[in-house]
Amino acid sequence: MSKQIDLKDAKAGMWVEFGMEAWTSNDGTDFPSGSFKGELVNKDPFTVFFNGAEYFGVDGKTVSDTINHDSFLKLFFVDTKSGKVVMNRHVSRIRLYESKPEAATEDDGERITDITKVTVKDTVVLKSGNRYTAVNVRPYCEDGQTLYLRAEEFGALDGWWAYDDDFQYAVHRTFDKFGWPLRTGFYKDNAAQVWHFDAKQNNLMRVLTDDGSPAQSTQSPVYGYGRFKRLADEQNLWPLTETSLVEAL
C-alpha cells in the first residue's frame, strides 16, 4: 500500500489526489471543478534559487483534455527555509502519496475469521456473500447468535441476530470510505492538531493545537461529520490518522 506523504516533503513523480473548484488562471486557462488525481510535477525548480519556494502541481491535461498540454496547474508551494506549505486557494482535500495507490476494495482493512473477535462497526460478510454492519456483538454467547447485523449501506434501521453458522468473515477498519473515524480514540489531522473521536456520539473534539498546547474554543468544541468536513476542506486538515496523546506530546 502506498505511503501517504506530508506536503512539505513533496517530490516530483509522487502521486497526488485533490478536489478543486472551477476558476480561471492569470493566463486565461479555465480549470474545471471536480476531483482529480495524477503525477506530481515540480515546475521551474530554478525558482528555488531566486525566491526560496518550490512549486508543485500537475500538468493541465490531468484535469481536462481541452487544456493545453503545456499548461501547469499549481497546487501548492513549499518555502524551502521554513517548510511552510501554501495552498492554491481553489484546491482542497489534497492527499499526496509516495506512489500511485492500489485500487481500494471492499475488503481493505484487517480480515477477521474468528467470530469472537468481531467488534461493533466491522463489516460482516455472510456465506451468502451479502455484507452487513455489526451493530452489537456477544463474543461469549452460547445460543449460536453472536452478531446483531444491519444493512446500513441501504439505510436500514432494523437488524437481526444472525446465526453463527452463516458467518464467513469480517473486515475491521479504522476509517470509513470518506476518511471519517469508526473507532473511539485520538486522531491527528494534516495540520498536526489532535482530536478525540467518540464513536458512540459519532463526533470529534479538538484536544491539542498544532504546537501541542491544549485546544480552546469560543464555539462548540464538538464536530459532527458535516461540520468537520467543511472545516477540513477549508483548512486542508484531511486526512486524519490514528495517534495517541503520548505520540502527540
Condensed to tens digits (0 to 9), the pLDDT of residues 25-61 reads 887 888 888 778 889 998 765 554 456 788 899 988 7
Cα separation, 35 vs 95, whole angstroms = 11
d(C-alpha 80, C-alpha 46), whole Å: 12
Q: Are 189 and 238 in contact (CB under 8 A)?
A: yes
Give the cell for residue 111.
Answer: 480480515
The pLDDT of residue 99 is above 70: yes
Q: What tens digit of pLDDT does each residue of 191-240 get?
A: 999 999 998 888 999 999 988 889 887 667 899 988 999 899 888 898 89
Cell of 54: 518550490
Q: Which residue has the higher pLDDT, 3 or 44?
A: 3
Confidence band, pLDDT 50/70/90 cuts, at residue 187: very high
- Ranking 53-62, 69-78, 148-157 by mean pLDDT, the lowest is 148-157
Q: What is the pLDDT of residues 52-68, one digit of tens each?
A: 788 899 988 787 766 66
Q: How far is CA 146 from the centre of its chain?
A: 31
Query: pTM here?
Result: 0.52
**Best CA proximity match to 71, nearest among 23, 17, 12, 30:** 30
